[in-house]
């Protein structure tokens, strides 16, 4: 299952669950170049990143204060920085 976090019409964070893989989601959204892998279990919208923390050992992203920090694995650090 994929847990998708988004903003509802009132601007509040909401979540839905769908039955798909991250690869299927990425393929369906391939025209949206601002969606990137940052970890093997996370696909994020870089336009929604509010804060980036970390150093050479690793990064993490804050998308919203109501959501947990999203880790960035070393394999995806260069992609996220770019």
Say what the pLDDT of residue 81 is: 84
Say what the pLDDT of residue 60 is: 94
For 24, residues 6+ apart whose C-beta sits below 8 A from its C-beta are: none
| Confidence label for 7 from pLDDT (cuts 50, 70 and 90) | confident
Q: pLDDT tens across 19-65, in order?
A: 999 889 889 988 888 888 899 889 999 999 999 998 767 899 999 88
Say what the pLDDT of residue 29 is: 86
d(CA 61, CA 49): 6
End-to-end CA distance of the chain: 29
């Amino acid at each position: 299952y994929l847990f998708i976090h988004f903003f509802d019409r009132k601007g509040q964070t909401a979540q839905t669950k769908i039955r798909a893989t991250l690869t299927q989601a990425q393929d369906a959204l391939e025209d949206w170049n601002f969606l990137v892998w940052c970890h093997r279990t996370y696909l994020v919208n870089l336009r929604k990143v509010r804060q980036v923390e970390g150093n050479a050992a690793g990064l993490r992203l804050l998308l919203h204060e109501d959501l947990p920090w999203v880790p960035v694995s070393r394999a995806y650090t260069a992609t996220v920085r770019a």
